[in-house]
Amino acid sequence: MNRISARQLFFFLACIAPVGKLVLMPAQLVHDVGNDLLFPAAINCLLQSGAVFCVLTLVRSQKSFYTLVAERAGRAAAKIILALLMLFLFYAAIMPILEQSLLVQNIFYDTLPSVLTFAPFFLFSLFLCAKPLSCRGRLWDLLGPLAIVAFVGVLAFSVGQADFGALLPAGISGVGSIFKGAARSLGWFCDSAILLVLLGKLEYRKGIALRGMLFYLLGGAAVLLFLAVFYGVFSDIALRQIFAFTKISKYFSGITVLGRIDFLFIYLLAFVMAFYCSLPLHACVECANLLFGDGKVKTPLYSAAVNAVMFSLTVLLNLSFLRTGEVILYKLFWIFLLFCLLLPVLSVFLRRTPHEKF
Amino acid sequence: MKNFKRTLGRIPLKLYLFLGAALLISFFYNDFGLVDIQKTAVILAVGVDRAEETFSVTAQIAVPKGNDRTTGGTSAVEIEGKGKTISDCIEQIYYKTGWVPKFVFCNLILLGESLVREDVFCALDFFLRNEYMPDSSLIAACEGSAKELLSSASAIDDAASLALEKLFSDAAKNAGTVMKTTLREFAVGYYGADESGYMPYVHALDQASGTDGSAQETAEGGKQNVAQTEKIYSAAQTALFSKGKMVALLSSEETFLYALLENNVSTGSFTAKQGEEARSFTVLREKGKVRLNIDGFPSVSLTLRVVLRTNDRASASPVGDITEGILSREELDKAERTLTDLFSSLWEKSVLGGCDLFRLNRTLYRSSPEKYREWNKTLLFALQPDFSVQAESVN
Amino acid sequence: MNSATQTAVTGNLDTDADALRRKLPAQDIFSFPFRSERGIRFLVFFADPLTDKELLGEQVVRPLLRYEGTPAAAQVGENLTAPERRAESALDKLAEEVLAGNPVLLWEGMDKALVVGTKKVFVRAIAEPTTDVAVKGPREGFIEDIKINTSLIRRRLKTPALRIEMLNVGRRSHTFVALCWLDGITPQKTVDEIRSKLRRIDIDILPDSSYLTHFLISRPHSLLKQVGTTEKPDIFCAKIAEGRVGILADGSPIALTLPYLLVEDFQSSEDYFVPSNRASFTRILRLLALFCAIYLPAFYIAAQLFKLQLFPVKLLLTIAGSIQDIPLSPSLEMLLVLFVLEVINEASIRMPKYVGMALSVVGALVLGETAVSAGFVSTPAIIIIAFSGIGLYAVPNLIETTSTLRLIMLLIAGSIGTYGIILFTAYLLVCLVTTENYGAPLLAPLSPLIKHDLRDALVKYDFDALSRRPVALRSRNKRRHA
């Protein structure tokens, strides 16, 4: 349980990472670029897969990100960078968790409940974050196939309703808007930053970087397919469908007889999402472990602190979700640029032997 | 330090105990502002009417029949709420019944005649915004008041909404007798480039009741033992909408042709009349195609291929003829002429009303946004449709 | 030497007898003195209810009465006709043997005593276990006697590689515990670890093998089962042959096996005697039944309280109709029905058999039918709990865990609804995934995913595909058959 195997990592990159992009991001992209929503998503998938490749080239050293930086730039610099990364991961977790809280209120209840119904998530997150980060590998072994089943189920129920012609005319929103849309949706693509924290826990396998990138692209393709179906189903009213994956499957004709059987797949995806949402917080706790030392008492304390602060933020920002999203995703998008693209790409220079095979 | 660590070490156990206690308390107390099945009004259908500045919403609420399941079926009660907005009306329904109205099972929105004369999205906006209202619910316009239609006693089911649901079944759609649409589909048309849509137009017909009177519950005065004529419903006509307003009404024959062109029909039938003589045809296979040509001046060609067999000659025929059902060329010509005539009236109604029934503006926008910007206001009027129908006999 | 502080046999019969008597003051411990023909004084200590006196007379006393040799232990021993005998000098050990039913023979002039194996054996017949029933396959079950149990194992594994190591557990009960494994297959590290844990156990008495589990697992407070149990020697042997360690305790018919994988309990011995497609089907059926049993009551409550959309509209109206006049809230109603089921379950296990029929009538008719007609509970609630009750027994070995989980799920569903169920499931998953004993992950081969072991997990492949032992158990010899 101390290591995450390549297979487990690939499950994460191809099956679990895409799940976090199926809730609010589709409607946000429609807001920014209308029917061109595939382009910014594709740009981010490509950039992020490059960043994933860069990070995974460091797996061979079997050293943690902290050790790698410390070897190159000294312990003080390593501590500063790790502390910044820790703060970023916490920051990056805000939107997915706020999104999750709204999603929970929407799909698990018939009437709008109190935000307190989301509080148990933080208990779960507290428990999970107190476990070693490497236990995620085994979780991914199970969650990967579950995510595939759920994703295929949701798509199978909805693809018949999709009018893919709605994606035309392609590029109508203009190149500028597409890149702006890509920059604004960068906040949903933080996977390479999380991988930085996983360094040192990943088992090396020949070709892991290249395969990791390809698996990430595979996951990205799944997201693009979902976006296409989503826009095909809702077309001009897609902007209103803020919990995308919960909306597209309800038009399946079997539902009238059997009830909402699509909820089975929706709940499965929500189940996988619960793990995905807590991942940045878990990575944040792992950074704290590296910075301040770990232990049977310390790690649960970090976990409790991180989750308590996040819970307070959720309660505080629950009703100002749009404003929060605007600030985090639109105004401060450059923070994601720094940590999700620049830092992973620059981390390539931490490699000792530049010509080793990936 | 050791004591501190020991204290911290005991926290998980205490936390579990605390969580267990909290769980038990919330289990027995259970109040997060949530509404359980016993406090819920399960709305099966809503009818919306408009009188000047006021909306009137009639909710048909299912009433459980208790433990006795021997009688079967579902009884329902209609509650009306009035207000300046749809939300006001729903609030009123809540005040009247004490039940929290839930739309999650609402499968039909019925729009009264008074409402469809203006932009229906002044009412549908509420349902589209409501996260708990399924946009997969069917919408239909009705003759007269939606309240009256929903409150009428159905001859074929316990509640009018359930009877209407039967009319909007997939089988009816496949037979081309109804052009059903959902809130989502209608909204996509409304907000799209074509700004048009359609929905079934329902009217109630009297059916002599075999019983001496039926008990009907009303919000005002409980049960009334009033003899009420039972109704049967028809949704064979289709209301056409442009910019949210009803602009035309297709007859049942035109509706059938429209269904053929939209490739909705798997097995349906129509009747061709020529003078005194009438022939009924069964459509066994059909393929409708609408093609917009934007090279040069825009034009549209609509083609329809149908494979037919005779259904009824309104006169005695030899047994071999009945078995084979093969159509002669004359009969096929008659069918083609009927369909062409129907198309002319269908096209005329839609163009005059400004309803882009075949989503030509949308097609234009998707293929050439520039031309769309140039032509979108005049496209329908400028187009000369080229309709061709090719009827073949089953052999 | 003072007999009170004496620790070993001295050769002075009076002193030794005194010392042993001090250690065994109970009134059912007898001593029987006699002399040989040459006048050597002998004394036999034995526990009256546990020793076969006839055998003692026949195999020990009668030969020694005619004994004409010297007091040398080897000579005396050779003259006994008892096949099981052993020299011992420590008084504590001798006292233990007497209490175990083995008589101790002391005689003048020898600083050693002989422990003779003439224990009286009270055993019930080998019968089919009631908790581990299979329609096809062997019907033998373990009994309470450890020797017979080990003989049942030895009969199936006639190989010198089968190791059976006897340990003594219990400060006062001195219960024999047999550690069984196959040398060359089971990882030595696992054997050593279990042995050292068993040796470290410090408890008064060991009434049953289940007492051992607490000391053998990594998370004693966990809700999850972490030790395999069986009452059938064929299953026990099959598990040992896969590379596990088996543990038997004297006085208990339930054998333990370690390391434990959760998937074991979804397998049945019968799966190996029927075609693989049938076995796969029944395994999946067990899993589904268990899922339904745990989740169905919870989802039913959650749907009624928080998410009506989970019901099709017609079913919803039926349910709404049936609960219309029920005075309890849906969650309390379900809790009440579950409580009644658990009471009936508990009572029917312990109730004398002749009142069982009456209980069925009371349970099914009075509590079921009458409660519905009286309007205390609704019919759907009873149907759901009844199905759940049956479903749990599709995997009987997990019943303690699953019935608790069902109750917790119900409480959570009644408190926060479906999201609570999802989160608790996620919590359980984390617990399952992070639990491992003796290097074997509890959830293997599903997590970590072990492709090879999936051949005999929820789906069972053909015999040919199972030629290698499970990878998760890290057995030293990988090949099972050609």
Q: Is residue C122 part of a domain?
A: no
Same-domain status, C251 and C345:
no
Which pTM value belongs to this model?
0.88
Q: Tell me which DSSP letter residue A249 carries.
A: T
Predicted pLDDT of residue B375: 82
Q: Which of B151-160, B371-380, C206-215 has the highest mean pLDDT?
A: C206-215
Task: Tell me the per-residue pLDDT of A80-99, one tens digit each, with 9 for 90 and over.
Answer: 999 999 999 999 999 999 99
Q: Is residue C174 part of a domain?
A: yes
Same-domain status, C38 and C164:
no
Task: Tell me the per-residue pLDDT of B348-359, one tens digit each, with 9 for 90 and over.
Answer: 888 888 898 888
CB within 8 Å: B64 and C313: no
Task: Tell me the per-residue pLDDT of B106-162, one tens digit each, with 9 for 90 and over.
Answer: 989 999 999 998 899 999 999 988 888 888 899 999 998 999 898 888 888 878 888
Domain boundaries, chain B: 23-206+234-250, 251-395
Residues C181, C182, C184, C187, CA torsion sign:
negative
- Chain A residues touching B134 at Cβ < 8 A: 250
The mean pLDDT of chain B is: 81
Predicted pLDDT of residue B224: 45
Predicted pLDDT of residue C219: 86
Q: How far is B63 from chain C (nearest CA, A)?
A: 8
Predicted pLDDT of residue B35: 62
User: Subunits with at least 3 CB pairs below 8 A relative to chain A?
Assistant: B, C
For chain A, give the percent of residues with pLDDT over 70.
97
Predicted pLDDT of residue B23: 84
Predicted pLDDT of residue B73: 60
Nearest CA in chain A to B8: A297
Window from A193-207, B62-76, B237-251 with minimum mean pLDDT = B62-76
Contact of A121 with chain C, judged by CB distance below 8 Å, is answered with yes
Same-domain status, C292 and C415:
yes
Same-domain status, C102 and C150:
no
Window from B188-202, B308-322, C300-314 with minimum mean pLDDT = B308-322
Same-domain status, C297 and C428:
yes
- Chain A residues touching B12 at Cβ < 8 A: 300
User: Subunits with at least 3 CB pairs below 8 A relative to chain B?
Assistant: A, C
- pLDDT at residue A229 greater than cutoff 90: yes
CB within 8 Å: B42 and C316: yes
CB within 8 Å: C308 and B42: yes
Predicted pLDDT of residue B285: 83
CB within 8 Å: C317 and B64: yes
- pLDDT at residue A357 greater than cutoff 60: no
- pLDDT at residue C244 greater than cutoff 80: yes
CB within 8 Å: C422 and A120: no
Window from A36-50, B92-106, B204-218 with minimum mean pLDDT = B204-218
- Chain B residues touching A113 at Cβ < 8 A: 32-34
Nearest CA in chain A to B184: A234
Q: How far is B91 from chain A (nearest CA, A)?
A: 14
- pLDDT at residue B215 greater than cutoff 70: no
- Chain A residues touching C425 at Cβ < 8 A: 271
Same-domain status, C79 and C167:
no
| Domain region containing C368 | 286-434
- Please state, in angstroms and as integers, the Cα–Cα distance from residue B255 to each residue in B180, B198, C330, C401, C472, following that order: 11, 10, 48, 61, 66
Q: Is residue C381 part of a domain?
A: yes
Q: Which residues 51-80 on chain B approach chain C with CB closer than 8 angstroms? A: 62, 64-67, 69, 74
Domain count, chain C: 3
Task: Tell me the per-residue pLDDT of B71-96, one tens digit each, with 9 for 90 and over.
Answer: 456 678 888 899 999 999 988 888 88
Local confidence band at B8 (pLDDT 50, 70, 90 cut-offs): low
The whole-number average pLDDT for the span B36-55 is 85
The whole-number average pLDDT for the span C337-352 is 83
Same-domain status, C46 and C163:
no
Q: Is residue C479 part of a domain?
A: no
CB within 8 Å: C320 and B28: no
Q: How far is B283 from chain A (nearest CA, A)?
A: 24
Q: Which of B11-20, B288-297, C27-36 has the highest mean pLDDT?
A: C27-36
The whole-number average pLDDT for the span A10-34 is 94
Contact of C291 with chain A, judged by CB distance below 8 Å, is answered with no
Q: How far is C444 from chain B (nearest CA, A)?
A: 27
Task: Tell me the per-residue pLDDT of C257-314, one tens digit each, with 9 for 90 and over.
Answer: 999 999 999 988 888 888 899 999 999 999 999 999 999 999 999 998 888 888 888 8
Same-domain status, C199 and C305:
no
The whole-number average pLDDT for the span B189-204 is 91
Contact of C308 with chain A, judged by CB distance below 8 Å, is answered with yes
The mean pLDDT of chain C is: 87
Same-domain status, C241 and C294:
no
Local confidence band at B171 (pLDDT 50, 70, 90 cut-offs): confident
Task: Tell me the per-residue pLDDT of A101-155, one tens digit each, with 9 for 90 and over.
Answer: 999 988 888 877 777 789 999 999 999 999 999 999 999 999 999 999 999 999 9
- pLDDT at residue C74 greater than cutoff 80: no
Q: Tell me which DSSP letter residue A341 carries.
A: I
Q: How far is A262 from chain B (nearest CA, A)?
A: 14
Q: Is residue C421 part of a domain?
A: yes
Nearest CA in chain C to B25: C415
- pLDDT at residue C421 greater than cutoff 90: yes
Predicted pLDDT of residue B6: 67
Q: Is residue C312 part of a domain?
A: yes
Contact of C310 with chain A, judged by CB distance below 8 Å, is answered with yes
Predicted pLDDT of residue A35: 92
Q: What is the topology classification, in CATH, of domain B251-395?
A: GMP Synthetase; Chain A, domain 3 (3.30.300)
Same-domain status, C360 and C309:
yes
Contact of A142 with chain C, judged by CB distance below 8 Å, is answered with yes
Task: Tell me the per-residue pLDDT of C177-196, one tens digit each, with 9 for 90 and over.
Answer: 999 999 999 999 999 999 99
Last residue of a domain, one of C100, C116, C132: C116
Predicted pLDDT of residue B34: 58
- pLDDT at residue A352 greater than cutoff 70: no
Q: Which residues 86-105 on chain A approach chain C with CB closer than 8 angstroms? A: 104
ipTM: 0.94
